[in-house]
């Protein structure tokens, strides 16, 4: 395959600076936890239910327990207080202890100081072992399914369903799989990322999508498993682990056999105005869970090009890739689990825009050799003209095939008109399949001109990325976000949603899952 002759020393410098940038943030992460992480601990220990409340949708038991706990007790961690409760009621399940706390039979705020660490660990061991075993079983189930139906064609064809009704989504997802899709992404209901609890049950009336709920995950995964067995081809499932409940949704995805989660270290900060400290702490724990579950994360740098012009800002995308990669490695993710995202979003009126898009796609492939890169289709400059849209998608697919992108989200000719119909997806798959097949070996026959426009463009983007990272390094990552260095979206360090959900850990803070999930130094 053709490659660009990049300066590897500059690539190594970018990685080194990104590691240096992440280091102080990681120190902050290790000193703090959040209410969402504490709720995740309860979910991992098996507390997944909800309670019906008057004039409200069902509210998760994990939230109800955290709401009951005096904030002054939170720095020890919810696990410590659950151990104290179980010490008094050793024969009760976590659901029964939770019920007693919620109805007031156990006052969690007058429980004695938890036993010492060794006793606390012993008390919680059955719940913790069950939680880890469930994640491991999920990972092994997916490995068996992939091994049994190991027929991977790259790029993987990634299609979206977004009806707002999970049962209708299932019909459309199965139809897409039968037409050739390899990955189904279920779009999430609008603004779920701003909810500080996870909705419960099957969604039948979502807005722009369905809620990321444990029941929706289960329904879709079951349908795709059945389709996989019938087709003899494993169909992968994607959803979102982002927003104020990022760690909890990661736990749900790990328990319900999801293959991919959209999980970015900065997306929520930039595009949902979620506090940056909260997001950095949450993304770490969510990625610990994802790593153990064998899930591949997908990052959201493609979104940068919806607010910042692509030709002028490709270096922002590459800089963010280096930063996302370092955060992911801190959580123990292997290269093969870090699905960095980018997009074909340049203004088509720019002369040689195809060459510049090809340069960017080839450079990302060359820099991140083992990563399952996700390539997003053009959307920003589509106007509802289906002929123009079809041509743009065809050029995007040619680049995806030529540069061996791992995952290709297929564009729709009817983008900017309506939610895709079944026929829209069929036509998109037919077009992509034709291009992938017709040009399968084309770029094995070609080489890039080392002094040509494409190679010079790639080297310029790499140079700009290195300078950009050096500028960020001179001030620190959080300050650079405050100044709008990413996606031209400035965010205040102590602003945004969710800041009140962070707390500093006490010296005796206890999270029993960290010893099972954190990578060894």
Catalytic residue among 267, 468, 485, 509: 267
Measure the CA–CA gap between 147 and 127, rounded to whole angstroms: 30
Is residue 17 packed enough to be buried (19+ CB in 10 Å), middle (13-18) or exposed (0-12)? buried
Tokens of 161: 């369903």
Q: C-alpha 408: how far from its chain's center? A: 16
Catalytic residue among 302, 366, 393, 424: 302
Q: Where are the beta strands (DSSP E) in 183-316?
A: 183-186, 236-240, 260-262, 296-298
Catalytic residue among 142, 330, 374, 382: 374
Measure the CA–CA gap between 424 and 422, rounded to whole angstroms: 5
C-beta separation of 476 from 28 below 8 A? no
Is cis: bond before 155, omega within 30 of 0?
A: yes
DSSP-assigned letters across all residues of 421-484? PHHHHHHHHHHHHHHHHHTTTGGGS----TTSHHHHHHHHHHHHHHHHHHHHHTT-HHHHHHTT
C-beta separation of 21 from 265 below 8 A? no
Closest CA to 62 of 80, 46, 81: 46
User: Which residues fall within 8 angstroms of residue 341, CB to CB, at 6 or more apart?
Assistant: 264, 298, 299, 300, 301, 302, 373, 374, 375, 376
C-beta separation of 262 from 241 below 8 A? yes
Tokens of 171: 């019909």
Going by the DSSP 8-state scheme, the letter that residue 188 receives in this structure is B
142 is catalytic: no
Helix H segments across 274-372? Answer: 276-293, 304-307, 310-330, 353-367
C-beta separation of 288 from 516 below 8 A? no
267 is catalytic: yes
Residues annotated catalytic, as ranges: 267, 302, 374
């Amino acid at each position: 395959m053709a490659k660009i002759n990049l300066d590897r020393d500059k690539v190594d410098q970018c990685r080194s600076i990104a590691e240096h940038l992440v280091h102080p943030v990681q120190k902050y992460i290790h000193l703090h936890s959040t209410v969402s992480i504490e709720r995740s601990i309860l979910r991992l220990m098996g507390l997944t239910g909800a309670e019906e409340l008057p004039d409200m949708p069902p509210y998760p038991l994990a939230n109800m327990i955290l709401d009951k706990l005096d904030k002054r007790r939170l720095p020890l961690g919810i696990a410590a207080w659950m151990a104290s409760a179980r010490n008094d009621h050793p024969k009760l399940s976590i659901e029964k202890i939770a019920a007693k706390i919620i109805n007031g039979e156990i006052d969690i705020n007058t429980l004695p100081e938890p036993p010492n660490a060794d006793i606390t660990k012993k008390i919680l061991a059955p719940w913790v072992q069950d939680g880890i075993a469930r994640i491991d079983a999920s990972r092994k189930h997916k490995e068996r399914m992939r091994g049994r139906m190991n027929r991977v064609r790259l790029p993987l064809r990634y299609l979206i369903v977004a009806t707002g009704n999970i049962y209708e989504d299932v019909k459309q997802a199965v139809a897409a799989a039968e037409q050739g899709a390899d990955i189904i992404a279920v779009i999430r209901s609008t603004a779920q990322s701003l909810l500080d609890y996870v909705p419960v049950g099957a969604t039948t009336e979502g807005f722009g999508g369905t809620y990321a709920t444990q029941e929706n995950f289960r329904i879709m995964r079951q349908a795709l498993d059945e389709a996989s067995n019938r087709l003899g081809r494993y169909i992968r499932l994607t959803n979102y682990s982002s927003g104020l409940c990022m760690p909890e949704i990661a736990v749900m995805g790990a328990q319900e056999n999801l293959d991919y989660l959209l999980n970015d270290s900065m997306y929520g900060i930039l595009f949902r105005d979620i506090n940056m400290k909260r997001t950095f702490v949450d993304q770490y724990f969510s990625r610990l869970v994802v790593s153990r579950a064998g899930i591949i994360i997908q990052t959201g740098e493609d979104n940068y090009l919806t607010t910042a012009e692509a030709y002028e800002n490709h270096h922002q995308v590459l800089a963010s890739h280096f930063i996302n990669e370092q955060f992911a490695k801190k959580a123990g993710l292997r290269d093969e689990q870090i699905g960095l995202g980018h997009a074909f979003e340049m203004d088509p009126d720019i002369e040689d825009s195809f060459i510049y898009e090809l340069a960017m796609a080839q450079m990302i492939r060359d820099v991140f050799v083992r990563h399952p890169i996700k390539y997003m289709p053009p959307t920003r400059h589509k106007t509802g003209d289906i002929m123009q849209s079809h041509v743009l998608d065809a050029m995007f697919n040619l680049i995806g095939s030529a540069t061996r992108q791992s995952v290709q989200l297929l564009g729709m000719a009817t983008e900017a008109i309506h939610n895709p119909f079944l026929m829209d997806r069929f036509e998109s798959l037919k077009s992509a399949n034709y291009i992938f097949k017709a040009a399968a070996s084309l770029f094995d026959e070609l080489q890039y001109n080392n002094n040509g426009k494409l190679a010079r463009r790639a080297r310029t983007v790499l140079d700009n990325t290195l300078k950009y990272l050096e500028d960020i390094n001179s001030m620190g990552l959080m300050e650079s976000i405050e100044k709008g260095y990413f996606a031209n979206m400035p965010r205040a360090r102590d602003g945004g949603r969710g800041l009140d959900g962070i707390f500093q850990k006490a010296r005796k803070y206890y999270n029993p899952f960290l010893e099972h999930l954190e990578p060894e130094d």
